[in-house]
Amino acid sequence: MKQASVHSAERPKTKGAGLARPLAAGLIAAALSGAPALADDLAQRVDAVIDRWVSAEKIVGVVAMIARDGEIVYRRAAGYADREAGIATKEDTIFRHASNTKAIVSAAALALVERGKLSLDDTVEEWLPYFTPRLADGSRPDITIRQLMTHTSGLSYAFLEPEGNAYRRERIPQGLDGARMTLEESLRRLASVPLFYVPGTEWRYSLSTDVLGAVVEKAAGMSLPEAVAHYVTGPLGMRSTSFLVADKARLAAAYRDGESRAVRMNEEEDELPLGVPASPGRALDPAAYPSGGGGMSGTAEDYLRFLEALRTGGAPILADESAALFAQHAIGDLRAWTEGEGWGFSLAAAVLLDPQAARTPQNAGTWQWGGVYGSHWFVDPADKLTVVVLTNTSVAGVIGEFPAELRDAIYAVRKGG
């Protein structure tokens, strides 16, 4: 199939996206106000990165949005939502969020804390009496809601552990596969295998947010999809973000890295490049349990609206004190080693502690995460900068050179590079 030009998608004029102010061009207000050449420089630099990766067929489809101080300064849809069918990516294309789901579910949990329905210091057992995993020595420690949110619970993911680990032996669902069971059945199976460490003593990326989702259900007195809609996506008007995709025509096909170009994934059963079992068709399956750690799908504009609400104080979903927790390092001397050197972790995202150690132009206090299906985002409070990049290509869209090149292109404008 002949590759369509990445310039063929019309770039709409900057317009409102439900953010706080009328939208206008400019990455840093003081720098770009009255200086359209710098705004054009941002577009040219970011376009160049996207063009190169889409033309090389390493990224199949992408929607990127950049906001500064509540104003969208860049928005672009490029490549294909479905390469084989020749369907171009559009701004309203729906992407599988994978772990981008975690921040949304964490926001729902904090909304319940604000209302006195939940406490960060509650034990999981108080809400889920069946969830009492033991350590390898047979002892049964308490796990708190705070430890679930900070990934210090003693849980893990199978793909992070050596071959033959208990999660793989017992076929513990990982939130992206096509396991046909309820959320409770999934967590009962998880509780049957040993914890990897004493809760609170290590940081390890994990299935903790799946457990948190079940706690949210109990505390809210409704299903996780209902709770998330009630406390987060509904108030924010995130109409295209959900656990079950209603508009199949807008859902992007899923691809994974290949030797020469990205390869389309099998809808029913496949494996992502990191060894994560995945079923892309899960997004359309009403029988799939709602994974708080990876089960949602949505659009870039919806996710930008969510992040901007948190960056600007939390309204209408959270109070300022709760929203601020997304950017506050919460694990003491521990570090979020998945992000490399210099990164800590809050109640929902990695937090940049040392830009020099991390070798990034981002400011200290930046918080970020991504989804293994191929998306990433970050919020730099010092620059009032929010970036959302959703792709349908794993893992190139979330890990490695593509995210780094986009980041550096954005900051080259800020720093006059």
Active site amino acids? 99
Q: How far apart are CA 290 and CA 284, in angstroms?
A: 12
Joined tokens for residue 61: 């489809």
Residue type, 289: Y
Cβ atoms of 390 and 254 closer than 8 Å: no
**In angstroms, what CA-CA distances link 292 with 29, 98, 206, 220?**
37, 9, 11, 14
DSSP conformational letter for 326: G
- State whether the Cα torsion 325-326-330-333 is positive or negative: negative
Rounded to whole angstroms, the Cα distance separating 207 from 276 reads 13
β strands within 228-382, DSSP E: 255-256, 263-264, 270-271, 277-278, 297-298, 343-345, 350-352, 367-371, 375-380
Per DSSP, which regions of 249-313 are E strands? 255-256, 263-264, 270-271, 277-278, 297-298
- Dist. CA 34–CA 251, nearest whole Å: 39
In degrees and rounded to multiples of 5, residue 320 shows phi and psi of -55, -40
Cβ neighbours around 346 below 10 Å, total = 21
Look-up of token digits 């199978």: 158
